[in-house]
């Protein structure tokens, strides 16, 4: 989940993040959903993390060890990563007669040039990208500059440590996820890119603040800092990225609860917090949900 098209957290403040102070019982947010003969553990992920961060709750490790199936947003394999990269390159490039810098208001175009220089990105390359893919490229560059990477994120760690007997499942395909981005109206793409550019230039400690909230299980702050800006900047984009996807995923979870067994779900934490999050939806449907 993200404030715009990037992952939820912007990777700044790495040196501080590696030594985050934590209260004795604080840990990233996790929920347990139960009915008579099945259990679903919902874990909210920050997709990219710095190396060496001790984030795994013991209860999550136990749930993974006994899971019958584990669900991710996308399949966790090399083919999916390759497909995502290929599709993004196909979908995210502007027509030859268009320019990203000309699509933006002058002040935003100037900010884009400054931010590109800070993160060693070619302005000529960015100029060929649609706003949503330019935003992804900027996010990736900020992560790399700080040392955070998908390889250290919960999805990759959990996929690697899960027992062979646990079936790996996914809510979406790369095409379905990228279509959400690519089909978003151009004004919403530009508004999201503008928000990201402001954050990258004006809020250098945001990653550290949000990572602290995640590590401490502060779901109210995660909702306030990560989701509310997107609701304000682009309500339609928020609906497409969060609300509509949660509605689709709830149908899958209800079908899983209608069966039996033990399931672990690992998705962006933005899909789990707030009144539209998966735990709140499941509570409203009458399921037993333990957690924040």
Express each pLDDT in 146-181 by its tens digit.
778 889 999 999 999 999 999 999 999 999 999 998
Q: What residues are paired with 71 via a beta bridge?
A: 169, 265
Per-domain boundaries in the chain: 14-88+150-290
For residue 254, the model assigns a pLDDT of 97
Q: How many CA atoms lie within 13 A of 173 on its CB side?
A: 5
Q: Give the confidence band of 9 by pLDDT, cuts at 50, 70, 90.
A: very low
What tokens were used for 88? 């993004």
Nearest residue to 116 via CA among 83, 91, 146, 142? 142
For residue 93, the model assigns a pLDDT of 96
For residue 211, the model assigns a pLDDT of 84
- At 177-234, the pLDDT tens digits run 999 989 999 998 998 899 889 988 888 667 778 888 999 999 999 998 888 888 888 8
What tokens were used for 164? 């062979």
Q: What residues are paired with 232 via a beta bridge?
A: none
For residue 23, the model assigns a pLDDT of 40
Q: Give the confidence band of 59 by pLDDT, cuts at 50, 70, 90.
A: very high
- At 225-265, the pLDDT tens digits run 888 888 888 888 889 899 999 999 999 999 999 999 999 99
Q: How far apart are CA 145 and CA 118, in angstroms?
A: 10
Nearest residue to 38 via CA among 259, 193, 203? 259
Which residues 6+ apart lie within 8 Å of 16 measured at CB? 208
For residue 266, the model assigns a pLDDT of 97
Across 272-291, average pLDDT: 96
Helix or strand holding residue 215 (H, E): helix 206-215
Q: How far apart are CA 123 and CA 27, in angstroms?
A: 40
- List C-alpha distances in Å: 208 to 9, 13, 100, 102, 261: 9, 5, 30, 33, 37
Q: How far apart are CA 106 and CA 239, in angstroms?
A: 29
Residue in the block written with tokens 């019958």: 68
- List C-alpha distances in Å: 161 to 25, 48, 140, 155, 221: 24, 17, 25, 10, 30
Q: How far apart are CA 150 and CA 259, in angstroms?
A: 32
For residue 232, the model assigns a pLDDT of 84
The average confidence (pLDDT) of the chain is: 87
């Amino acid at each position: 989940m993200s404030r715009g098209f990037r992952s939820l957290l912007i990777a700044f403040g790495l040196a501080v993040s590696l030594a985050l102070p934590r209260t004795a019982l604080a840990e990233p947010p996790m929920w347990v959903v139960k009915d008579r003969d099945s259990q679903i553990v919902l874990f909210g992920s920050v997709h990219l993390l710095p190396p060496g961060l001790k984030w795994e709750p013991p209860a999550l490790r136990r749930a993974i060890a006994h899971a019958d199936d584990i669900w991710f947003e996308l399949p966790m394999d090399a083919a999916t990563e390759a497909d995502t990269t290929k599709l993004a390159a196909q979908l995210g490039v502007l027509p030859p007669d268009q320019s990203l810098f000309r699509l933006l208001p002058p002040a935003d175009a100037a900010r884009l040039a400054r931010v590109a220089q800070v993160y060693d990105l070619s302005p000529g390359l960015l100029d060929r990208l649609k706003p949503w893919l330019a935003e992804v490229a900027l996010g990736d560059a900020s992560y790399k500059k700080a040392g955070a990477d998908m390889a250290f994120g919960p999805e990759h760690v959990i996929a690697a440590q899960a027992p062979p007997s646990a079936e790996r499942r996914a809510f979406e395909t790369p095409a379905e996820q990228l279509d959400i981005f690519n089909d978003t109206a151009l004004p919403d793409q530009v508004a999201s890119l503008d928000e990201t550019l402001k954050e990258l230039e004006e809020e250098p400690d945001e990653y550290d603040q949000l990572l602290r909230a995640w590590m401490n299980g502060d779901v109210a702050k995660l909702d306030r800092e990560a989701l509310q800006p997107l609701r304000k900047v682009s309500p339609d984009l928020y609906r497409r990225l969060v609300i509509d996807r949660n509605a689709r995923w709830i149908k899958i979870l209800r079908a899983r609860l209608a069966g039996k067994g033990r399931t672990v779900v690992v998705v962006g934490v933005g899909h789990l917090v707030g009144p539209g999050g998966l735990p709140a939806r499941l509570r409203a449907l009458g399921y037993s949900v333990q957690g924040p």
